[in-house]
Structure 1
Amino acid sequence: MKLKLSHLITIGALSLAPALANASVITLDFEGVGNQAAINDFYNGGTDSQGNSGVNYGVSFGSDALGCIDSDAGGSCAFANEPTADTVMFFLSGSSVLSYDAGFDTGFSFFYTSARDVSVNVYSGVNLTGDLLGSINLSNNASDNACSGDPTGNFCNWDIGSLSFAGIARSIDFGGAANYVGFDNITFGSTNPDTEVPEPSSLAILALGVLGLASRRLKSA
């Protein structure tokens, strides 16, 4: 594609696991989204345009936001060295619009790779409404640092984009030149994108372990 881009004890455990999930920083790594599929409600209790579903974080995407899988993993995108596994977000028209009804504060971050300049804008309302809380402009970086593919992929260099702001944000416009930019590991509530995304099942196991230790202590008391 040349330079185009075409994550009682039983009752206590069940209640603690969601609390741990809510308390953690949310990272969207797009793994499980179909190749060239509209992300849609993949992270909002629904599915992408190919019927795949992910964790329900209450995050939805506009119809232009697509998933794309590394060509080395059987997909159609010419990127490499992606932060987590094989899938990233990109767009073929318009821009990738994210809406998060619950909102988030402090800031957010992401990885990006691009052969054109990138722009990201954050708004206080869903679907790019309300006040503009902040903007970030990033230069093209796709082949910086003499990077190489894994084993192939022209979009092989990834850099961090981050933005701090005041207020509550509920939507983000990930822009740039269509088909020339990919985003990955979008992280809410932190200006450093996460590269190790815990699954809810892992959080539940952690909760069970914590409660199990507490139970042993009570029995030995």
Structure 2
Amino acid sequence: MQKFYKSSLAKTIAASALLAASSAANADVIVLDFEGVGNSAAINEFYNGGTDSQGNSGVDYDISFGSNSLGLIDGDAGGSGNFANEPSADTVLFFLTGTAILNYTPGFDTGFSFFYSSSTAAQVFVYDGLNATGNVLATLDLSAQFSDNCVGDPNGQFCNWTAVGATFAGTALSIDFGGTVNQTAYDDVTFGSAVAGENPGEIPEPAGYALLALGLGLLAKSRKRKS
């Protein structure tokens, strides 16, 4: 009987954890960290059910990149990227030449954000039409900060990363990075939030404490029943 009650208690706590996680998570937030994209590979359909130019595939988010979009891996990790202190792991987004447009066919709302390292001041535009058409829903301003106050990882000139984001009304279908080609790198590109790199799968700290309190409460009741 004692064993059965412990099992029921564990199941109750586990169920509560799942409930807290599902209520705290925002399923509409997507973060692209570009890990898995090949070094100097065109990203292409890596996030659209296809592959990059080297045959690597990622999660299908219905997000499509042009052929001039590149994944670059940090030189310290064996790639050709001239950067350091990247926000997540080893791979970043870079546009080499020409147009630099990203299409998100299903559309997204609320906000858009990313980390960047740039050698030039520039702007990134959020549009409500595909291929950078329609209305501009948001404009994100970038400064030339790539080498400012760098610490830590010593190798790589693009070593300062800044988070930038914007909220907007309406539904966005595309992003134009065109003014930043060959000058700017990006990481943790985030759709549905103005907070760059926000992880919708993490339970916020208050929810975590509430869950802990629930578990302790159930444990206390269990001990009273035993006594």
* Alignment TM-score, normalising by the size of structure 2: 0.73
- 1:118·1:181 contact (CA, 8 Å) conserved in 2? no
Determine the structure 1 residue equivalent to 2:40.
36
Q: Partner letter of residue 160 of structure 1?
A: A
Establish whether residue 165 from structure 1 lines up as the match of residue 171 from structure 2. no
2:181 aligned residue (158, 178, 181): 178
2:126 aligned residue (118, 122, 136): 122
Identity %: 61
Name the CA distance, whole Å, in 2 between partners of 1:98 and 1:162.
16
Q: Secondary structure at the match of 2:106?
A: strand
Name the CA distance, whole Å, in 2 between partners of 1:28 and 1:197.
13
Q: Partner letter of residue 84 of structure 1?
A: S
Shift of 1:22: 8.1
C-alpha change, 1:163 and 1:95, in structure 2 (3 Å) is: farther
Deviates more, 1:131-140 or 1:66-75: 131-140
Equivalences, count: 179
Q: Which has the higher strand share?
A: 2
C-alpha change, 1:95 and 1:112, in structure 2 (3 Å) is: farther
Name the CA distance, whole Å, in 1 between partners of 2:85 and 2:179.
21
Q: Secondary structure at the match of 2:131?
A: helix
Q: Partner letter of residue 88 of structure 2?
A: T
Flag structure 2 segments of 5+ consecutive residues without an equivalent: 1-17, 202-227
Name the CA distance, whole Å, in 2 between partners of 1:178 and 1:75.
20
Name the CA distance, whole Å, in 2 between partners of 1:52 and 1:197.
25
- 2:190·2:198 contact (CA, 8 Å) conserved in 1? no
Flag structure 1 segments of 5+ consecutive residues without an equivalent: 1-15, 199-221
Name the CA distance, whole Å, in 1 between partners of 2:34 and 2:26.
19
Runs of 4+ in 1 over 3 A off after TM superposition: 195-198
Q: Which has the larger radius of gyration?
A: 2
Determine the structure 1 residue equivalent to 2:153.
150
Determine the structure 2 residue equivalent to 1:26.
30
Shift of 1:151: 3.5
Q: Secondary structure at the match of 1:23?
A: coil
Determine the structure 2 residue equivalent to 1:113.
117
Name the CA distance, whole Å, in 2 between partners of 1:72 and 1:95.
29
1:98 aligned residue (88, 96, 102): 102
- 1:44·1:60 contact (CA, 8 Å) conserved in 2? yes
Superimposed CA distance per residue, residues 111-162 of structure 1 (whole angstroms, 9 cap, x where no aligned partner): 0001111210111111112222221221111011x20452301111100111
Q: Secondary structure at the match of 1:176?
A: helix
Q: Secondary structure at the match of 1:141?
A: coil
1:88 aligned residue (72, 81, 92): 92
Shift of 1:69: 0.7
- 2:113·2:163 contact (CA, 8 Å) conserved in 1? yes
- 2:128·2:170 contact (CA, 8 Å) conserved in 1? yes
Determine the structure 2 residue equivalent to 1:47.
51
Shift of 1:95: 4.0
Name the CA distance, whole Å, in 1 between partners of 2:105 and 2:33.
19
